[in-house]
RNA sequence: GCCCUCGUAGCUCAGUAGGAUAGAGCGACCGCCUCCUAAGCGGUAGGUCACAGGUUCGAUUCCUGUCGAGGGCGCCA
């Protein structure tokens, strides 16, 4: 690859000049400014001081050495600014990129093997089975599914998991609320009064015990949530039941083990986790003085169970749960697990805006905005793309009008449109028997238009973007890259006619190759976000 | 009081394992269709990267502090 050629030429020049103390890796970057060449190195700036040179002199010597024996594909080397070394390349390297993309196709392009088959468990959504999924669940749902896809692409063995809180106080209240609605009584204190509870209660068979109503309600809610998630293409491998850990005795076992490791103690009639031993602010109650578990205890058991199935655990939690991280890590550490192998990704809140006004999510009134409503309003693709467009570290303002609009302002349509245009070109070429191209000699060196090279540069970046988004668990980097690729595709489309009377057949053939590579790029990126690539808009 | 995530163009947001003149979309203004989707392309205007120190050849990026926004600090989940 060309970048390796450049770095080895830099290394050789540095050796020839007697510069030691090289950094472990020589980094190259693509300068924003085209006057600075195709690739740039700051190695002279980084090493000059130790070597006793001025950065600019060192850069100048390096450039002279490389210029005297230019590596294949490099046209010239110049220095600029405080001591940057800039490489101008012939377009050949981009034609190589094109060929690689075509050879790899959508199955391979952008995939690498940094995970090496290690098992990662991504737990997300995990909403209580006491009602439909609402807007607040959506960001974590889209995010969790996308990072799972990205980790899969970089070689991890991924399990998507939903933790079902099918026992405990909330479930009891939910069951009683269903029964109350069914028999026309008042909802119990702290119960669920939403309109959906009343609607569901009419579906429920009569004369159920509280226990039976709980089972029924849990199943009904899970089924409702599963269908909603399916609407946006999210399918879980595992739905893990909290209750199953009571029945199997796993929770009791965990209590016993914590006690044996002296990670827990009794005080004031309750059992406490000694979480301050591992950096938590205060110790936490595991078993209340009334004998009931707190929510923490099954959850600790659950995480421990997950560790028996995976090498790396990722939890996607909302910002309101961040205070919970320390105690969970402390619990895992006291049970002998490495807290570094538990990653908690926090998603900040989303503010929904419609007609320029914030959509209030008032759960107390029961008038929650259901995720289903959003998907029905704007469609699954817009739902996923809009949620993933932005870093989950920042509060998001989600404009429902924009997401629903079928105009260029809408990023998802902009990207999908690029794909639709490509398919349009391909079907036209197909009708003229120019595509697919078979067995012909295709001269990719005909591709030297600025717009063509721009598309190829973006394609070149994709594997790095995938790795970076995996390392940082940041799907928005994929979304941003897709917008850039789409921009270059629209520019190419505008300035470079592919199939037509005015285009020489050899150029058409070469451009059709580029079009196919761009298609592979768009499909590959969209796939990681769970967004479709339609043939027409 | 302590902890977490933020503060970048009028708006919505990228960018930062330290790099050259800080980017995109929208909105505003000005151009571009006999031909593959004008659902597009190009250009102009718009910034003390919240503020103040520090480290560095170089800081929007790293460190400290201040201010501002949201979230968290339960024998609730």
Q: What is the mean pLDDT of residues A395-416?
A: 86
pLDDT tens readout for residues A137-184: 999 999 999 999 999 999 999 999 999 999 988 999 999 999 999 999
A160 backbone dihedrals φ, ψ, rounded to 5°: -95, 125
Strand B-contacting residues in A 408-467, CB cut-off 7 angstroms: 408-409, 411, 413-414, 417, 420-421, 424-425, 428
Confidence of residue A61 (pLDDT cuts 50, 70, 90): very high
Closest residue (CA) to C1' of nucleotide B19 is: A42
SS3 A313: strand
Largest CA distance in chain A: 91
A293 DSSP 8-state letter: B
Which tokens belong to A5? 């050629």
Q: Which nucleotide is nearest to A351 (CA to C1')?
A: B70
Q: Gap from A32 CA to B23 C1', in Å?
A: 10
Q: What is the mean pLDDT of residues A250-262?
A: 95
Q: Which nucleotide is nearest to A535 (CA to C1')?
A: B37
- Contact between the CB of A7 and strand B at under 7 Å: no
Give the per-residue pLDDT at A176: 95
Percent of chain A with pLDDT over 90: 75
Q: Which nucleotide is nearest to A130 (CA to C1')?
A: B77
Closest residue (CA) to C1' of nucleotide B69 is: A395
A188 DSSP 8-state letter: P
- Contact between the CB of A50 and strand B at under 7 Å: no
Label residue A439 left, alpha or beta by phi (over 0 means left) and psi (-120 to 50 means alpha).
left
Confidence of residue A510 (pLDDT cuts 50, 70, 90): very high
pLDDT tens readout for residues A350-395: 888 887 777 865 544 456 789 999 999 999 999 999 999 999 999 9
Q: How buried is residue A225: exposed, middle or buried, by Cβ count under 10 Å (0-12/13-18/19+)? A: buried
- The answer to whether the Cα torsion of A181, A183, A186, A188 is positive or negative is negative
Q: Which residue, A476, A319, A470, is CA-closest to A391?
A: A476
Give the per-residue pLDDT at A118: 95
Give the per-residue pLDDT at A367: 60
- A148-173: b (≥16 Cβ within 10 Å) or e: bbbbbbbbbebbbbbbbbbbbebbbb
Q: What is the mean pLDDT of residues A209-214?
A: 95
Give the per-residue pLDDT at A364: 46
- Contact between the CB of A47 and strand B at under 7 Å: no
Q: Gap from A273 CA to B19 C1', in Å?
A: 48
Q: Which nucleotide is nearest to A46 (CA to C1')?
A: B57
Q: Gap from A499 CA to B39 C1', in Å?
A: 21
Q: CB atoms < 10 A from the CB of A532, how many? A: 17
Q: What is the mean pLDDT of residues A390-414?
A: 87
Q: Gap from A33 CA to B41 C1', in Å?
A: 21
- Contact between the CB of A86 and strand B at under 7 Å: yes
Strand B-contacting residues in A 338-377, CB cut-off 7 angstroms: 346, 348-349
pLDDT tens readout for residues A181-199: 999 999 998 889 888 999 9
- Contact between the CB of A407 and strand B at under 7 Å: yes
Percent of chain A with pLDDT over 70: 98
Q: Gap from A110 CA to B72 C1', in Å?
A: 38
Give the per-residue pLDDT at A86: 92
Q: Gap from A55 CA to B17 C1', in Å?
A: 22
Summarize chain A as % helix, strand, coil (round to 5). 55, 15, 35
pLDDT tens readout for residues A416-466: 999 999 999 999 999 888 888 776 678 999 999 999 999 999 999 999 999
A118 backbone dihedrals φ, ψ, rounded to 5°: -65, 145
Q: Which nucleotide is nearest to A168 (CA to C1')?
A: B77
Residue A98: is its pLDDT beyond 70? yes
- Contact between the CB of A319 and strand B at under 7 Å: yes
Q: Which residues contact A423 (CB under 8 A, 6 or more apart)?
A: A519, A535, A536
Chain B positions with an atom below 7 A of a protein C-beta are: 2-7, 12-17, 19-27, 35-42, 57, 70-77
Q: What is the mean pLDDT of residues A32-55?
A: 85
Mean pLDDT, chain A, integer: 91
Residue A336, Cα to own-chain centre: how many angstroms?
Answer: 30
- Contact between the CB of A390 and strand B at under 7 Å: yes
CATH, range A2-90: 3.30.1360.70
Q: How far apart are CA A134 and CA A284, in angstroms?
A: 30
């Amino acid at each position: 690859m060309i970048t390796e050629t450049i770095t080895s030429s830099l290394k050789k020049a540095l050796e020839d000049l007697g510069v030691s103390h090289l950094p472990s890796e020589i980094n190259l970057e693509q300068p924003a400014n085209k006057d600075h060449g195709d690739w740039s190195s700051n190695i002279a700036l980084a090493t000059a001081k130790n070597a006793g040179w001025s950065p600019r002199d060192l850069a100048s010597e390096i450039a002279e050495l490389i210029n005297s024996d230019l590596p294949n594909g490099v046209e010239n080397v110049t220095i600029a600014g405080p001591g940057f070394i800039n490489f101008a390349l012939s377009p050949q390297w981009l034609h190589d990129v094109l060929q690689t993309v075509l050879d790899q196709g959508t199955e391979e392009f952008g995939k690498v093997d940094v995970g090496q088959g290690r098992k990662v468990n991504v737990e997300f959504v995990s909403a209580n089975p006491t009602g439909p999924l609402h807007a607040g669940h959506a960001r974590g749902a889209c995010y969790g599914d996308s990072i799972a896809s990205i980790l899969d692409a970089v070689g991890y063995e991924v399990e998507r998991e939903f933790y079902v809180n099918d026992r405990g106080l909330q479930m009891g209240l939910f069951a009683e609320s269903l029964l109350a609605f069914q028999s026309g009584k008042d909802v119990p204190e702290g119960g669920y009064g939403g309109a959906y509870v009343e609607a569901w209660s009419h579906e429920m068979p009569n004369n159920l015990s509280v226990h039976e109503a709980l089972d029924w309600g849990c199943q009904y809610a899970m089924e409702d949530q599963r269908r909603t998630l399916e609407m946006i293409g999210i399918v879980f491998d595992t739905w893990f039941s909290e209750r199953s850990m009571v029945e199997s005795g796993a929770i009791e076992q965990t209590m016993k083990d914590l006690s044996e490791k002296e990670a827990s103690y009794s005080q004031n009639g309750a059992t406490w986790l000694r979480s301050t031993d591992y950096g938590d602010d205060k110790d936490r109650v595991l078993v209340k003085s009334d004998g009931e578990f707190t929510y923490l205890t099954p959850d600790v058991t659950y995480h421990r169970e997950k560790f028996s199935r995976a090498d790396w655990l990722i939890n996607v939690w909302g910002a309101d749960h961040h205070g919970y991280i320390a105690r969970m890590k402390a619990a895992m550490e006291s049970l002998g697990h490495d807290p570094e192998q538990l990653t908690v990704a926090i998603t900040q809140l989303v503010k929904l805006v419609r007609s320029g006004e914030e959509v209030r999510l008032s759960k107390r009134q029961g008038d929650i905005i259901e995720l289903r409503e959003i998907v029905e309003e704007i469609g699954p693709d817009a739902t996923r793309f809009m949620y993933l467009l932005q870093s989950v570290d920042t509060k998001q303002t989600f404009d429902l009008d924009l997401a629903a609009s079928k105009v260029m302002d809408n990023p998802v349509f902009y990207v999908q449109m690029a794909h639709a245009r490509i398919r349009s070109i391909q079907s036209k070429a197909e009708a003229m028997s120019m595509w697919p191209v078979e067995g012909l000699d295709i001269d990719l060196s005909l591709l030297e238009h600025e717009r063509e090279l721009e598309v190829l540069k973006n394609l070149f970046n994709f594997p790095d973007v995938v790795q970076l988004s995996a390392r940082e668990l940041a799907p928005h980097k994929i979304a941003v890259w897709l917008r850039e690729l789409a921009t270059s595709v629209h520019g190419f489309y505008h300035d470079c006619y592919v199939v037509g009377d005015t285009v020489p057949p050899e150029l058409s053939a070469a451009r059709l190759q580029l079009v196919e590579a761009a298609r592979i790029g768009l499909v590959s990126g969209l796939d990681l976000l769970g967004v479709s690539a339609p043939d027409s808009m």
